Amino acid sequence: MKPAPFAYERARSLDHAIELIGGAEDTRLLAGGQSLIATLNMRLSRPQLIVDINRVPGLDHIRRRDGHIEIGALVRHAQAERSAEMTAHAPLIAKALPFIGHPAIRNRGTIGGSIAFGDPAAELPACFVALDGEAVIAGPAGTRVVKADQFYKGLFESALTPRDILTAIRLPATIADMRTGFAEFARRHGDYALAGLAASARPNGKTLSEVRLVFFGVAATPVRARNAEAALANGDIEAAARALATDLDPPDDVQATGAVKRQLAGVLLRRVALELMEGRT
């Protein structure tokens, strides 16, 4: 199918982009286009106006500052994959990036687009929550910062309003004792996951503290498995796997039944728990 007719504007600056999206009823931003173009072609969205932000300066940085690593919204997945800063200070993201689609998609797709779009089966939104990140959002009233735990509200719904632009995400820069784990099941490498898990924790003697287990592909948003986190903090992997029965209630979807997804979640948890406990990061 072809998209419904739309107007197109290329933003020169962040202020210009905010002005453009404030001036029309129904707008979408064009970042990497890897999700937007498909939704337009399938007529799942019919915006009046597309605002291209690719030439907005100042949104493609990866920098370490004040104990954080800040990743500009227009950083391409491939750029992040090649970044030594990301490997050193955001290893969870570095582990997850190769699972996103294929090189052609990662050459165009942006970190900001993935976080903003918030596909429930996408890798980066779950990593963002697992790392307790922050979203930097510019809107008509200025800039605000939203914690990852408060960012996702529902299926493709987030703290972003239609008048907002995500300008960057900030992640606590990984320091020596932080551990991360990542695993997913997809039918073929590069497909969206049937179920996945992004996790972080700190070693605490023979146990773990600050455990964050964030599943994706099993609910409308990335979901923290809080009972499993508590069990894993006590070092009990099997109790953590059992706790998923109360933490997760995956609906059936076109890929798998909820029961299969719950089963997969348990397998993922056991794998990632070993990664966290043995510090294979």
Ligand X SMILES: Cc1cc2nc3c(=O)[nH]c(=O)nc-3n(C[C@H](O)[C@H](O)[C@H](O)COP(=O)(O)OP(=O)(O)OC[C@H]3O[C@@H](n4cnc5c(N)ncnc54)[C@H](O)[C@@H]3O)c2cc1C
Residues that bind ligand X (CB under 6 A): 28-36, 38, 73, 100-101, 105, 109-110, 112-114, 116-117, 119, 122-124, 160, 165-166, 190, 192
Kindly tell me which of 80 and 273 has the beta carbon lying closer to ligand X: 80
Given the complex with ligand X, which of 41 and 234 has the nearer CB atom? 41
CA distances from 78 to 59, 74, 84, 129 (A): 15, 11, 12, 21
Structure tokens belonging to residue 235? 């070092």
Written as one letter, the residue type at 131 is L
CA distance 41 to 129: 30
Residue with tokens 């165009």, as numbered in its chain: 108
**β-strand partners of 200:** 180, 212
CB of 233 to ligand X, least distance (A): 28
Write the burial class of residue 81 (CB in 10 Å: 0-12 exposed, 13-18 middle, 19+ buried). middle
User: Measured from the CB atom, is 168 or 232 closer to ligand X?
Assistant: 168
Give the shortest CB-35-to-ligand X separation in angstroms. Answer: 4
Give the nearest distance from C-beta 237 to ligand X in angstroms.
27
Which pair of structure tokens corresponds to residue 71?
């990743």
3-state secondary structure of 182: strand
- Helical spans, DSSP H, in 11-147: 14-22, 36-41, 77-81, 84-89, 91-96, 103-108, 111-117, 123-130
If the CB atoms of residues 101 and 250 are measured against ligand X, the closer one turns out to be: 101
Query: Closest approach of Cβ 244 to ligand X, in Å?
Result: 22
d(CA 96, CA 191): 13
Nearer residue to ligand X within complex by CB, 33 or 172: 33
Nearest approach in angstroms of CB 84 to ligand X is: 22
Q: Which is nearer to ligand X, 9 or 229 (CB)?
A: 9
d(CA 49, CA 39): 14
CB 51 within 8 A of CB 24: no
Q: How far is the CB of 273 from ligand X (least distance, A)?
A: 23
| Residue 257 Cβ vs ligand X, minimum distance, rounded to whole Å | 21
Residue closer to ligand X (CB basis): 268 or 277 = 268
* Element of type H or E holding 237: helix 237-247
